[in-house]
Amino acid sequence: MKRKVTKAIFPVAGLGTRFLPATKSVPKEIMTLVDRPLIQYAIDEAREAGIKEFIFVTSRGKSALEDYFDHAPELENSLKAKNKTRLLDILETTNMDSGAIAYIRQHKPMGLGHAVWCARRLIANEPFAVILPDDVIAADKPCLAQMVEAYEETGGSMVAAMRVPEEKTSSYGILDVESETAGGLVKVRGMVEKPTADKAPSNIAVIGRYILTPDVLGNLNAAELGAGGEIQLTDAIATEIANNRPVHGFQFEGQRFDCGSKAGFLQATVSFALAREDLHDDFYRFLSDVIPVAQAAE
């Protein structure tokens, strides 16, 4: 009997240098996409997939991230006094019950694999999810929920996957595909971290959602430095394949935005704003006015 996935790791220790100077004092994960911080999108997705325990791997300077999920009695009392029930409901989604959230420090920036390894004692012997808040995925059914459904059929370890242009393979972990099904599942026989286009085994890339067995944590115990001089999570998952344990890629339904880049963040902002009923009309009119002006200036 497969154990349910109820724990998720959120690696949020990065410095967010691509967004300086904003991230000098504000964690990147708190930067807002329309009116919600990136981390809220990740938490909401995890909740809808059945996650009950949330583990944040942080670093110095992330206190604002911890404060965000705490209760704010003064603000709540002020909203109650003014009978602003809608805002109170919104605020409630940001609160975490005592014991539901844990914070672990990653003292040295040694890569994603090392960040996941830092949370090993809180995972113990259970399957777990990993969510990278930089990857925001717009989907009718949240990406992780799609993966949990597929995992219930496959077991083993699973990574979210999508096709990327061949010239972009050097920016991703790339799957070496053994077989592919119509339902979007890919059986994996190997993984390569950031290969050049001429050495990439496919153009199916790993995206920032994972469901992993505790065996992966054991692999990380013995992990050596990989691409970029860091401990790569991809290498630990590839060890599962070498040990004849199943690894699948899951090609999710939805649109992924790379909010770790400025261009991706702006693209997500436009897309999510247009999807909002309260913003669509005014924002669409603005874009309709400004785009011809920008094109004429080129």
Q: For residue 249, is it within any domain?
A: yes
Residues 112-136: pLDDT tens digits?
A: 889 999 998 899 889 999 999 999 9
Give all strands (DSSP E) within the chain, no chain letters: 7-11, 32-33, 36-37, 53-58, 101-105, 128-131, 135-138, 157-163, 173-180, 185-193, 204-212, 247-251, 255-258
Give every residue of the chain whose pLDDT is below 70, as ranges: 1-2, 223-229, 293-298
Q: For residue 104, is it within any domain?
A: yes
Looking at the DSSP bridge assignments, the partners of residue 131 are 209
Query: CA–CA separation, 49 vs 208, rounded Å?
Result: 15
Q: For residue 128, is it within any domain?
A: yes
Q: How many helices (H) and strands (E) does the chain have?
A: 11, 13
Global pTM value: 0.89
Give the DSSP letter of residue 222: T
Q: For residue 220, is it within any domain?
A: yes
The domain tally of the chain equals 1
CATH number reported for the structural domain that contains residue 171 in this entry: 3.90.550.10
* DSSP strand pairing (128-131 vs 204-212): antiparallel
Looking at the DSSP bridge assignments, the partners of residue 33 are 36
Q: For residue 292, is it within any domain?
A: no
Q: For residue 285, is it within any domain?
A: no
Q: For residue 183, is it within any domain?
A: yes
Residues 180-234: pLDDT tens digits?
A: 787 788 889 888 888 888 888 888 999 999 999 999 998 888 766 555 567 888 8
Containing structural domain, residue 44: 7-260
Q: For residue 281, is it within any domain?
A: no
